[in-house]
Amino acid sequence: MGRAAEQWLPYIEQVLGIDLSAVDPAPVSDTVASAIFLGRDDLERRQFLTATAAVGLAALDLTDAEAVTRRVKRPGPVRVGMGEVNAVHSMTTALGDAASELGGGHARHLAVRYLIDDVKPWLDGAYADRVGRELFAATSQLLQLVGWMARDAGAQGLAQRYHVHSFKLAAEAGENELAATALRGLADQAIDLGHIPAAVRLAEACEQRGRKLKNPKALAYYRNTYARAAAADADRTTASKLLTFSQAAIEHAPAKPGASWASHYSHGRWAHESGMIHASMGDLPAAEEHLHLALDIHGLDRKRTRAIVLADLGQVQLKRGNTAEALASWNEFLDCADGVQSVRINDAVGNITARLPHIPDTAATQELTERLAARAST
C-alpha cells in the first residue's frame, strides 16, 4: 500500500488485461471538488456510468496527503466547527436507517442533495486542521452511504465512483477504518459484477488497511469480505482461513453497535455473509446453519436485510432437496419485501420465479406463484 502507483499499476493492468488509462479522469484533481461534481452530475443525470474493474482499482492510487492542509490554509465564507461535523453524522445515520429498512431506492437523491446544498459550503468553509479531518471523515461516511444506496438502486457505475471518492477522502483524513470500509464496498460490488481478480485485489487491500484496527467488528467485516472474494476465486484454502479469523473476531465483539461505520456490522450480518461463503464453497449444511443463526438467534430486524436472508435461505434449502422449507422461506421473504425498493430484492424475486417451474406443482407452489405474479403486476 505504501509503494508508488507507477510501480504496481502496470502489473495490475497486465494481470487483469485492462487499461487504466481508459478510465475517465476526474474533472478536477481535488477530491472534495470531484465528489461534489459527481453529486451534481448524479442529480442532473447527465451521463450513464458503468462499473468497471479499472475504476475500482484506480481507487488504490496514491491519495492527496495535503488535501486537508490546503483547505485549512485558505479562507472560507463560513466558519465550521464540530457542530457541523456532528450534523453530517446525524443526517447520515438517519438516512442510513431509512435505507437499510426500505432499500437504497428510498431517499437517495435526498442524500445527494444534502451533500450538495449543506455539506459543500462547510467543506469550502474555514476550519482548523482537526475539524477539517473530522469533516473529511464525516463526508466520507456520507459518500459511502450514497454509494451503497446507488448500488442498491441498481446504479452500479455511480455507486462505484461514490465508493472511490469515499475511500480517497477517508485516506486523506487518515481514517483507516473508513478507508477500509470503502474498499470493502468496491470489493463486494466487484464480486457481484463478476470482476473476480479485481475483487480479490480490492478485498486484500481492504483487509490489509484494517488489519491493525482494534475494533473486532471491523476485523470480522473486512476478513469476511476477503473470504468472499477468495471463495469466488475458487481459493478454498484462503477463504476457509479467513472465515476462521473472522469468526474469532466476531466472537469477541460486543452485541451493541458502536459509533463507527464498521461497528454496525452485527453478528447477524456476519452469520448471513458466512453462510453464503459456505454456500459458494459447496458446504450447504454449514450454509443453512449460518443462515438460520442469522435469522433465529441474531435477529436482523431490518425488513430489507431479513428479506434477503430469507431469499438466500430458500435457495440453499432447495439445493438440499428441502422443497417445502424453501417455499416457506420464500413466502416469508415476500412478507418482508413488501414496500422495499432494492435491486437485491428484485433479483431475488427473479431468481425465485425462474426456479418455480422446476418445482413439483403443489398448492404451496401455486400460492407462491400467484403472490409473485401479484407483486409483478403492482
Q: For residue 202, how far is the Cα from the chain centroid?
A: 13
Do residues 346 and 326 make contact, with C-beta atoms less than 8 angstroms apart?
Answer: no
DSSP 8-state class, residue 79:
B
- In sequence order, what DSSP letters do the residues of 90-103 get, joined into one string? HHHHHHHHHHHHH-
Please report where in the chains the cell 455511480 appears, as a residue: 158
**Residues belonging to the chain:** 378
Q: Give pLDDT, residue 255.
A: 80
Listed by start position, the domains of the chain span: 1-212
Please report where in the chains the cell 403472490 appears, as a residue: 371
Q: Give pLDDT, residue 341.
A: 87
Q: Give pLDDT, residue 24.
A: 43
Do residues 320 and 271 make contact, with C-beta atoms less than 8 angstroms apart?
Answer: no
Per run of 10 residues, the mean pLDDT along the chain (length 378 residues) is: 41 42 48 91 79 82 80 86 96 90 86 95 94 96 95 92 95 93 95 95 94 91 97 97 96 82 88 97 97 90 91 97 96 93 93 93 93 86
DSSP 8-state class, residue 26:
P
Residue 154 vs residues 41, 104, 147: alpha-carbon distances, Å: 17, 9, 11
Cell of 180: 477500509
Identity (one letter) of the amino acid at 108? R
Spatial CA neighbour of 123 closest among 139, 108, 145: 139
Residue 15 vs residues 10, 118, 133, 162: alpha-carbon distances, Å: 9, 43, 36, 26
What pTM was estimated for this model as a whole? 0.86
Encode burial over 85-123: b for 16+ CB neighbours within 10 A, e otherwise: beebeebbeebbebbbebbbbbbbeebbebbeeebbebb
- In sequence order, what DSSP letters do the residues of 196-237 get, joined into one string? HHHHHHHHHHHHHHHTT---HHHHHHHHHHHHHHHHHTT-HH
CB neighbours of residue 352 within 10 Å: 23
Cα angle 61-65-68, degrees, rounded to a multiple of 5: 125
